[in-house]
Amino acid sequence: MISTKSVKPALQLAYVKLMMDVIGRGLVMASQVDEEIKQEVAKFPSNFVLSMKVFPNGPAFVAKVTADHQLELLQNTAQKPDLTITFKHLNHAFLVFSFQESTAQAFAHDRMIADGDVSYAIRLVRCLNKMEALILPKLLAELAVKQYPTELSLKEKLSGAANIYLKVAQSYFKRSA
């Protein structure tokens, strides 16, 4: 296990920034391909803005629920998000993103705060958990989520992961083109 003290702050920052970008894009793409995540996102109101960030001005992503109830990433928003999940410190984000602590454990240890309706925060965490269960190898996913979905078949996992990874890769190519 990697201790947060053994990883230099600059490397932690770079890693968390990369993971925040991948998670933001992965969540958006998962909302397009996974039925369970589609159903969860459909319960958010249209134009609902959510974000995840590291306090005070660390890595972040911001996404908005579109009129057709999918997520899209926002580059700049003057609008205060309806829901913000904030890691209180870069080390706390590193623990979660390096799979040393699950999101549920981070909340329980008061390493994260939710600013917004708690029911929406729970819905977002369910979406993140499902996405992580799909895209991560099972051993890592079991560390990342509170409870690994027992009904997730290997076929569904591989198909979902392939679709999400393909769409995430495409999103990087579209940005650079």
Percent of the chain beyond pLDDT 90?
54
If DSSP codes are grouped into helix, strand and coil, which group holds residue 39? helix
Fold of the domain spanning 4-166: Nonspecific Lipid-transfer Protein; Chain A (3.30.1050)
Better-predicted residue by pLDDT, 2 or 77: 77
Q: Model pTM?
A: 0.83
- pLDDT score of 2: 59
Q: Where are the domains of the chain?
A: 4-166
- Region 10-17 average pLDDT: 93
- How far CA 49 is from CA of 4, 38, 57, 79, 114, in Å, comes to 31, 16, 18, 8, 13
Burial class (CB in 10 A: 0-12, 13-18, 19+), 28: buried
Tell me which residue of 70, 67, 66, 115 sits closest to 88, measured CA to CA. Answer: 115
Residue 72 in contact with residue 62, Cβ under 8 Å?
A: no
Asked whether the predicted pLDDT for residue 143 surpasses 80, the reply is no
pLDDT tier, 13 (very low <50, low <70, confident <90, very high otherwise):
very high
Q: Which two tokens stand for residue 63?
A: 């996404």
* Rounded (5°) CA angle 88-94-96: 85
- pLDDT score of 139: 81
If DSSP codes are grouped into helix, strand and coil, which group holds residue 149? coil
Percent of the chain beyond pLDDT 70?
95
